Amino acid sequence: MNYRGIQVLVIDKVQFGPGLSRTPEHEFNAVHDAALLRDRWIIDGFGPWPAMERRFALADAIIFVDLPVWVHFLWAARRHYEHRDAGPGVPYGDLPEAPTLEQMFEVLWKVHEEYTPRFRALFDSYPNVENIVHLTSPQELDEFAARFSSPTE
């Protein structure tokens, strides 16, 4: 996928394989770090913390969607129930298959408890980042997204 002529790396597509198995770390790093060698790149998602630190050190912009955990739970439940009738083998967003709702909630809670506080603290340590966009409500997210055209495949 690309956006405005810039290739987009979607972390979940690299990080997870069949059965939601984790890609071996060396394979993930090879794909991730190759993206960082490009002149321009967009990376969507988290991935392992060391990869995020490498990415943030090189970024000139970071968009941080920092919504209340209940919003993420609600959106995950909606997505899950909208997808449940799609049948087996149908991709689930950027994942090769749908996780259970329990798995989704566990990941969301882990991100909320472990990653989000670290993200908030991390931004001060990267003075080279020219533009940090910190979105804290669904309305801010909608307004930010409305300013950009749809990505092209």
Q: What is the domain range of residue 68?
A: 2-146
Tally the domains of the chain: 1
pLDDT, residue 5, reads 87
CA gap 116, 67 in Å, rounded: 10
In a domain, 151, yes or no: no
* pLDDT mean values, one per 10 residues, the chain (153 residues): 87 84 92 96 91 89 91 89 71 70 89 88 70 89 83 52
pLDDT, residue 88, reads 65
pTM, two decimal places: 0.78
Element (H, E) at 150: none
In a domain, 153, yes or no: no
In a domain, 25, yes or no: yes
Q: Nearest-CA neighbor of 55 among 4, 1, 148, 122?
A: 122
CA gap 15, 95 in Å, rounded: 9
Count how many residues are written for the chain.
153
pLDDT, residue 25, reads 93
